[in-house]
Amino acid sequence: MGLLVCFAGAIGSGKSSVSEAIATKLKWRRTGFGDYLRLELTQAGNDPANRKALQDLGQARVDADSAGFCRDVLHSGGFQPGDNFLLDGIRHASIYRHLVVLAKPSEARLLFLDVSEADRQRRMVGRADVHDFARAEAHRVESELHGGLPGIADACIYASSDFDGVVEQCLNCLEKWQRGLGN
């Protein structure tokens, strides 16, 4: 039985960087909701770097057919039920609930990366879309990141510590979850 590890956290929490590091270390496949949405925007001739367009499209897909959105993202990353797989960019509890069902017989686990506001602000400074940070934070798609998702997460990792330490904490969670599955 495989493990689908879903990463959630606010903008600048390190979801993509951490999940990419873990994928490399474990040789697991990974994708993200943002990866999928950027591809959709590119195929439609739109700017894949436009965070507002990403958020608007993501929320529209959630509102229109959230289960179908999840299936599309998993398929785009090559996920097969039973696989070990990493998925970043969870923004809604309803999306996670769909993933739990769609992953079977893989077991889904939600890992929430929590980061201090000061560290998020510091991390945003180097990003091309730093000027859009306040607007992006207020977008409806971000609304469950501070209330709903941490409460349903299987683990919350404080991601303000050093990067290697955060990756190691995440790997420890994965190892514990795999032991629980009998792997």
Q: What is the mean pLDDT of the chain?
A: 89
Interval 94-132: pLDDT, tens: 999 999 999 999 999 999 999 887 877 776 777 666 666
Arithmetic mean of pLDDT, 35-41 = 96
136 inside domain: yes
pTM: 0.90
d(CA 107, CA 178): 9
Nearest CA to 159 among 151, 148, 168? 168
Establish if 37 belongs to a structural domain: no
Q: How many domains does the chain have?
A: 1
pLDDT at 128: 67
Say what the pLDDT of residue 117 is: 78
- Mean pLDDT over residues 154-164, rounded? 91
The reply to whether 121 falls in a domain is yes
What's the confidence (pLDDT) of residue 38? 95
Q: Which residue has the higher pLDDT, 137 or 171?
A: 171
**pLDDT confidence of residue 183:** 55
CATH of the domain at 124: 3.40.50.300
